[in-house]
Structure 1
Amino acid sequence: MTSFASFSSRFGIAVLLVALADFFFYGQPAGITVLLFAILIAGAVVAVHPAALNSTRPWLKPAALFVALLPLAENVSPLSVAIAVVALVVFALSLSGRLRHGIARIAGQVALFLLAAPLRLIRDFFQWRRTVRRLGGRRIRLASIIVWVMPVTLGAVFLLLFGAANPVIEYWLSLIDLMKLLDLIQLARIVFWLFVIAGVWAFLRPRLPRFPRRLPPLTPPAAVAAPAATKPATTIEAVVFGKAAILRALIVFNALFALQTGLDAAYLWGGVALPDGLSYAAYAHRGAYPLIATALLAAGFVLAALRPGSETSGDPLIRRLVYAWVAQNIVLVISSILRLDLYIGVYALTYWRIAAFVWMGLVASGLALIIVRIALGKSNEWLLSANLATLSATLYACCFINFAAMIANFNVDHSLEMTGDGTPIDTEYLRSLGAAAMPALDRLYMHQFGNQTTCLADQIMIDDTIAEQKQWRAWSFRGWRLVQVLDKRGPLVLPPPTQPSQPSVPDR
């Protein structure tokens, strides 16, 4: 009956976590409670795998998990929640002894875990039923139900008698509103409970789906013969993608990329006049994203052409041409970043443009890692692991950056109203960023009107933010810092009738 006890104990822990999730999240704002719930899940995982921490350094895994959960304390966002979920998956697989070595393999395990997680509870439930039936557990389940009939029945009778004899107990019983309790059982709430218990159960019993392995086809005895002495025929694929074709392709590609780099150097940075009707901002914007696609296509070609152990990977001339071409791709990505910076200087900063900066930086680092892989003779798995590590570190760092405040400060500092040159400020877009943009808007209003001015819509947003942060469930370190700034503001002062112009910002 070990499986019965194991399933029952884990299910009891899962039900307790569902109750806590209902208390933390249902109908409530998300904040520090997300971090608390993640810590509770980690504690439950440790409780069902107590022997996993009996190692020389038992603190290492919990400490690594705590570092991964820190972004939840800074601010609850889809990115910080995603990092926390991945960290909990790795933690659960590690304690269960199923975690493999290598970042690329771990990433594959995390993907499989998340794909199988929604159905893990259902599968385990039917497996538990089969196990209990095989061990003769039907009578045990029936007895476990019958054994509670007499205590519950007599207990209810005694409680009613005590209520008739004791006014205090009678008052307590009168406070129980069965209809109100039934109203709490809503369809949306039940769906929330099922969602939580399915997710929690996957961590309490971390398993990966098993796929049947295909057996290699049996070779007939006639096929196992002495190799033919004839020379193998040359296929079209060997000609099109052979060593000679790759060598010629690299020469052509290097020439084309050199032409593009030269044009960028001349028009964007050399001051050469553009054709009539074409502005520098338009030239910069049109090339930023296609050049990144070009760099990605080039990276794929390099990986395919210089596979480890292939004939082309050992050719010195091809390797030098690849180094030159990848270096030109890195210059191309840097040019794309400078193009985007030039465009932002004209049309202001947005979330998507920050994401483009981050993406371009990741592409540049990926290209540099390709050179390292070729130079050191590493495998493609090493390259994938290095890129995943770079991506993880970048996303983790992004969790601690207040991009809304960054956008607001940049757009205000470089606006026409503040500098006399640049783009007119789009106050509606800044307000859409939330209360984090208010300090920047305060500086704008102070510069324009000479005093701290607050629109009614801004004041409502500020009051809502302060009220939300006063709820302990919604608390976050970033929100707390923002409230400290907002609390120092003066009373509501309506602006003059003339408002700053609000042009539309293209391509947000």
Structure 2
Amino acid sequence: MTALFSAAPSCCSRLGVAALLVALADFLFYGQPAGITVFLFALVIAAAVVAVHPAAFSDGRVWLKPIALLVALLPLAETVSALSVSTALAALVVFALSLSGRLRHSIARIAGQIALFGLAAPFRFASDFIRWRKTARRFGRRRVRLAAIAVWVMPLTLGAVFLALFGAANPVIDYWLSLIDLLKLLDLIQLARIAFWLFVLAGVWAFLRPRVPRLIRRIPRAAPAASIQAERTVTTIEDMLFGKAAILRALVVFNILFALQTALDATYLWGGVTLPDGLSYAAYAHRGAYPLVVTALLAAGFVLAALRPGSETSADPLIRRLVYAWVAQNIMLVISSILRLDLYIGIYALTYWRVAAFVWMGLVASGLALIIARIALGKSNEWLLSANLLTLSLTLYAGCFINFAALIANYNVDHSFEMTGQGISLDAWYLRSLGPGAFPALDRFLDHQSRTAVANDPVLRELVGLRSSDEGWYRTLQQNWRAWSFRDWRLLRTLDMKGPPVVPDRIEPHMPGH
């Protein structure tokens, strides 16, 4: 019971902090655009986590954690996107677990903790509330709670009666009471808003009481004596299918097949040899870009399974050399996939998915290189997983500062048929769907088109009108301080220096002699 009473103030204080955070979230986000407010709210959550973990200040290096968190939250100041919000959430989870002393040291295990934290976060508040109520009932505090509520029943009831009598006797009080519209008060109770409060409460509570759920571990049972012979038979079959001899032969066959594929790519993609009739470079590039990445991933899985640390195959020098050669060929395949995708984009333009494919292929190539490093250095699979997660984290963090909409729009405009005289026509409607980040590139395209013979095209005029209305909506949105971000601030400066494109009312044809 002493433990309950000592934990109660901590729980109540956390609940009070959570209520304040919910109120702040309502002010910043409900019915409002998202911008710099997301960065500010993340800082407030971090401050609240520090406030409920005062014991963390006993560590001399505690100030390194807020500095690292601030660096991880900087993408939110640049712009609010799914990538920057995900990065911030992961950083807040690591920060909260580190202050509570529950953070693991391995990167791979930290990634697992982040995943488990995210799965359990929506149910943390409900679980803690139910557990606290059960504990309170066990120690007899339910009567105390009910008594505390009961003592207010009589005063509030009689107070309401006296207030009604005073209203009947005093015109001023009656006027004040008439100003209270119960129906309007009920209108303030919005189900959507209450759902928003509960959502925020569940989210912030998970950070105020950071816990990672424990997975149920199965206790291994001793194998029956009758199954020993069958196990030996299975082991023998496994050795035959995936033993040293089988892996050696597989690596020889795989190296030959991959060498053939690499030679074909070197001939047609890099050497410029004419393709067979009926096959274009675009079709050749598109058909091979993604299957080759899948091939590389399957090869990586085979290498990890075949060369387990401490296994007989891992210690064989010939197998190691064949693995090095095969992984190197896989890296060449990924580079070939990147070249294929580049050729395809040069013909069919750039999109979000194709940018993601470039990033994905680069990550696959780096993962294959890390496999070679793991084998050469004799590291464990956990080290390999941690290295890959670190590479992925740094890539995603860097991607938070890249304006992909502007990158795609500028590339498509610069390589369009209208601007260069070759390639395909620009899909201006797709550029418009990219949002405000594509405004400068779209303006360059419209300015160029306004000086050509197609300036009287009704489709172009419609696009110019929509472009102006889009900017008007964007400027109106940016007048709300909550929507501010560093990227939007830079974009507004660019738009202020150069006005929207204007198409002449009519381009008169040039007459000889005039």
Q: TM-score, normalised by structure 1?
A: 0.90
Q: Secondary structure at the match of 1:340?
A: helix
1:84 maps to amino acid: A
Tell me the CA shift for residue 305 of structure 1: 0.4
More moved, 273-282 vs 357-366: 273-282
More moved, 125-134 vs 261-270: 125-134
Tell me the CA shift for residue 449 of structure 1: 2.2
Cα-to-partner distance string for 1:152-190 (whole Å, 9 max, x where unaligned)? 67988789979x9998x9998776544333212122222
Alignment root-mean-square deviation, CA: 2.9
Cα-to-partner distance string for 1:462-498 (whole Å, 9 max, x where unaligned)? 0111111110111111111111122233367346789
Distance 1:462 1:99, change over 3 A: same
Distance 1:212 1:284, change over 3 A: closer
1:189 aligns with 2:193: yes
Aligned residue in 1 for 2:502: 493
Cα-to-partner distance string for 1:419-440 (whole Å, 9 max, x where unaligned)? 1122211111111111221211
1:288 maps to amino acid: A
2:471 alignment partner, one of 450, 462, 473: 462
1-side partners of 2:186 and 2:144: how far apart?
Answer: 31
Aligned residue in 1 for 2:311: 310
What are the residue-to-residue correspondences of 1:258-297 with 2, within 5 Å? 258-297=259-298
Question: Is the CA contact 2:347–2:424 (under 8 Å) kept in the aligned structure 1?
Answer: yes
Question: Is the CA contact 2:349–2:412 (under 8 Å) kept in the aligned structure 1?
Answer: yes
Distance 1:234 1:490, change over 3 A: closer
2-side partners of 1:176 and 1:467: how far apart?
Answer: 36
Aligned residue in 2 for 1:503: none
Aligned residue in 1 for 2:47: 43
Distance 1:446 1:159, change over 3 A: farther
Aligned length: 491
What are the residue-to-residue correspondences of 1:329-340 with 2, within 5 Å? 329-340=330-341
Aligned residue in 2 for 1:108: 112
Which consecutive unaligned segments of at least 5 residues does structure 1 have? 499-508
Q: Secondary structure at the match of 2:497?
A: coil
Which consecutive unaligned segments of at least 5 residues does structure 2 have? 456-460, 508-514
Question: Is the CA contact 1:118–1:199 (under 8 Å) kept in the aligned structure 2?
Answer: yes
Question: Is the CA contact 2:446–2:464 (under 8 Å) kept in the aligned structure 1?
Answer: no
More moved, 121-130 vs 170-179: 170-179
More moved, 316-325 vs 446-455: 446-455
1:445 aligns with 2:446: yes
What are the residue-to-residue correspondences of 1:10-409 with 2, within 5 Å? 10-146=14-150, 177-218=181-222, 235-409=236-410
What are the residue-to-residue correspondences of 1:414-433 with 2, within 5 Å? 414-433=415-434
Distance 1:171 1:381, change over 3 A: farther
Question: Is the CA contact 1:120–1:202 (under 8 Å) kept in the aligned structure 2?
Answer: yes
Distance 1:317 1:184, change over 3 A: same
2-side partners of 1:233 and 1:334: how far apart?
Answer: 40
Question: Is the CA contact 1:455–1:495 (under 8 Å) kept in the aligned structure 2?
Answer: no
Distance 1:207 1:174, change over 3 A: same
1:483 aligns with 2:492: yes
Distance 1:492 1:450, change over 3 A: closer
2-side partners of 1:45 and 1:305: how far apart?
Answer: 45
Tell me the CA shift for residue 144 of structure 1: 3.3
Cα-to-partner distance string for 1:378-425 (whole Å, 9 max, x where unaligned)? 000000000000000000000100000001101111111111122211
2:17 maps to amino acid: I
Tell me the CA shift for residue 206 of structure 1: 1.1
Distance 1:310 1:187, change over 3 A: same
1-side partners of 2:243 and 2:506: how far apart?
Answer: 72
2:305 maps to amino acid: A
2-side partners of 1:161 and 1:20: how far apart?
Answer: 38
Question: Is the CA contact 1:351–1:407 (under 8 Å) kept in the aligned structure 2?
Answer: yes
Q: Secondary structure at the match of 1:487?
A: helix
Question: Is the CA contact 2:450–2:502 (under 8 Å) kept in the aligned structure 1?
Answer: no
Which structure has more helix as a fraction of its residues? 2
Distance 1:150 1:432, change over 3 A: same
More moved, 248-257 vs 438-447: 438-447
Tell me the CA shift for residue 325 of structure 1: 0.4
Tell me the CA shift for residue 29 of structure 1: 1.1
Q: Secondary structure at the match of 2:379?
A: coil
1-side partners of 2:170 and 2:58: how far apart?
Answer: 56
